Chains A and B, each alone.
Chain A
Amino acid sequence: MGPAGSTTRLDVRRAARMTDYWWVAYRRTWRGSAISSFVVPLLYILAMGVLLGGFIKGDPDQLEGATSYLSFVAPGMVAAQSMTTVFGEVTYPVMGMIKWNRSYYGMIATPLGVPDIVFAHLGFVVFRVALVSGVFLAVMAPFGVFSSVPGVLLAFLVQLLIGLAFAAPLYALTAALKNESGFALVFRLGMIPMFLFSGAFFPVSNLDRWMEVLARFTPLWHGVDLTRMLVLGRVDASLALVHVAYLGGLAVAGWLLATRLLHRRLID
């Protein structure tokens, strides 16, 4: 980082000036996203949890302690949707602000610095995850899969952590990519395999040994397992701590890297 990079440090109050921008940007799209964030979870729960789940005999030993497939798959789907929301909110939008409408360049011409910009943008992504996962959890409520209110509230906070754990490294990756052609790979080899194989829809112990090990290294598995523990009320404290540390570490490392790489992209 050059001298300017070391002087324009993160200033949260300054970053908060971007709230108006993000609010205006959100208002522009909220109708479409509000409907889908309510309807999509409902469709998933009905199709996967109730209908597909109807064919699956719930044996708690095989379903990581869940008493039905519905209560196994619902928390998994919440976590998986938190992840997919992030992929949509970071990749193309960040590239657009760097490359297409170049609005980040407009921002750095003001007192705002790169760390402020990254902070505010990640903040907006977490806000979007909060809305989407909050609605998802609300839709799940009548299906009787929750064990306790505090568990659900903690599971909600975990979604924000999952959001940041994906958003920050993905932001860094986007800042480093020259153009959008890399996103196809990010989605096909990153998001979709994780969505399908990281324990959201079936226990990872069903996988071949090597695949299971691989799955347990993905951030989504940590997020799914932690969400499921809290929703079902079967918390393994030491494992939960591992999950939080893993996701938190990813968020912090990704955040630092994202700031550094965006600085390099916009200024150096």
Chain B
Amino acid sequence: MIEASGLTKSFASRSGAVVEAVRGIDVAVRRGEAFGFLGPNGAGKSSTMRMVAAVSPVSGGTLRILGMDPAVDGPKIRARIGVCPQEDTLDTELNVRDNLYIYGRYFGLPRAEVRGRVEELLEFVQLTDKASAKVDDLSGGMKRRLTIARSLINRPDVLLLDEPTTGLDPQARHVVWDRLFRLKQQGVTLVLTTHYMDEAEQLCDRLVVMDKGLIVAEGSPLELIRTWSTREVAELRFAPTHEHGGDLAAIAPKVADLAERVEVLPDRLLLYSADGEEAIAQVHERGLDPVATLVRRSTLEDVFLRLTGRTLVD
């Protein structure tokens, strides 16, 4: 459905310097799968999505969407994909139904056909009751659902979702996930970006982790956890009154052999180990006496933080 090789995107910044947002990525999205782009802010996810949406021109490399070149067949490609952008682009002064109706017309669909699809989609995203409400009066979650409904008006082969649940409360996120899961079951190819690891684990069959414009890892959520983390993680906290004055960096060497990897955080030590309980038992045996311990399974978040670092990106 989507094939990119050596894909790059660069543009001139306000100061005139050339910014390389995407620095050569290879991606292949197959029919019917849910594919995710993960990465911190500025990793190049949105730039990639804008190219895949056949809106932003490719700077280098090749990109084929549904077998077509976006530089040649932009309108034809856009006719067959759905886009749910990060920021809503709804017409806030029109009502819910009109937003869907006019959008369907942009695709050149006959009026009667669009009217039918509008009612169907309102039902699908549970907005039938709000059909006559102005967009301005909708909650954030309702706007998101309307945006998703709008992106489906042309019955797309591929649905692109740029951070579909950012800013939503947990209830609204679960409703959106449920709808996206149903679409996936109907055979719609989903391509999404997110920085929520639970979202990626819930929805994606396969994903890539991007950092600084490059792909740093690729695989299913489970494969990524197996490759980049251990089965379990033991978390240890120590009291400030501990023998080393709570200096975790000084404690770390004493447990280094108990885990595949030890990570020192400001408030705790993380022991990446296949058996977390066993590691903690050993820690106690050595008389290190942590005040609190926790054993949990590795998540995609551990993978993500390992690959992209813990430093804040603005």
Residues of A within 8 A of B (CB): 2-5, 7-8, 11, 14, 17-18, 20-21, 24-25, 28, 101-113, 267-268
Contact = CB atoms under 8 A, between A and B. Distances in A.
Contact of B71 (A3, A17, A20): A3
B187 interface: no
24 contacts: A4-B54, A11-B75, A17-B105, A17-B108, A18-B105, A20-B102, A21-B91, A24-B98, A25-B91, A101-B91, A101-B92, A102-B89, A105-B85, A106-B89, A106-B103, A108-B55, A109-B53, A109-B83, A110-B107, A111-B75, A111-B108, A267-B55, A267-B57, A268-B11
B296 interface: no
Interface of B: 11, 53-58, 70-76, 78-79, 83, 85, 87-94, 98, 101-103, 105-108, 111, 150, 154
A118 to B, nearest CB: 15
B297 to A, nearest CB: 39
A10 B72 CA distance: 14
Given A110-B103, A113-B75, A4 B90 contact: no
A8 B103 contact: no
B105 A8 contact: no
| Shortest 8 CB-CB contacts between residues of A and residues of B | A2-B57, A106-B89, A111-B75, A110-B106, A109-B83, A3-B71, A4-B57, A21-B102
Given A101-B92, A106-B89, A111-B79, A4 B108 contact: no
- Chain B CB count within 10 A is highest, among A14, A106, A110, A113, for A110
A121 to B, nearest CB: 13
B210 to A, nearest CB: 22
- Chain A CB count within 10 A is highest, among B70, B71, B91, for B91
Contact of B101 (A18, A20, A109, A112): A20
Nearest to A1: B57
B105 to A, nearest CB: 4
B71 A4 contact: yes
- Chain B CB count within 10 A is highest, among A24, A28, A104, A109, for A109
Contacts of A105: 85, 87, 89
Contacts of A112: 75, 106
Contact of B93 (A20, A28, A111): A28
A98 B235 CA distance: 48
Contacts of B89: 101-106, 109
Nearest to A117: B106
Contacts of B11: 268
Contacts of A104: 89
B101 to A, nearest CB: 7
Contacts of B57: 2-5, 267
A102 B94 contact: no
Given A17-B107, A109-B89, A113-B74, 15 more contacts: A4-B70, A4-B71, A7-B72, A14-B108, A20-B101, A20-B105, A25-B94, A28-B94, A101-B92, A102-B88, A105-B87, A105-B89, A109-B78, A113-B75, A267-B56
B167 to A, nearest CB: 15
A28 B83 CA distance: 27
Contacts of B101: 20, 24
A137 to B, nearest CB: 30
Contact of B78 (A3, A24, A111): A111
A28 B98 CA distance: 11
A154 B70 CA distance: 45
Given A14-B108, A21-B102, A21-B105, A102 B87 contact: yes
Contacts of A18: 105-106
Contacts of B74: 4, 7-8, 113
B107 A111 contact: yes
Contacts of A108: 55
B85 A109 contact: yes
Given A21-B102, A111-B76, A111-B78, A103 B56 contact: no
Contacts of A268: 11
Contacts of A25: 91, 93-94
Contacts of B76: 111
Nearest to B87: A102
A17 B90 contact: no
Contacts of A24: 94, 98, 101-102
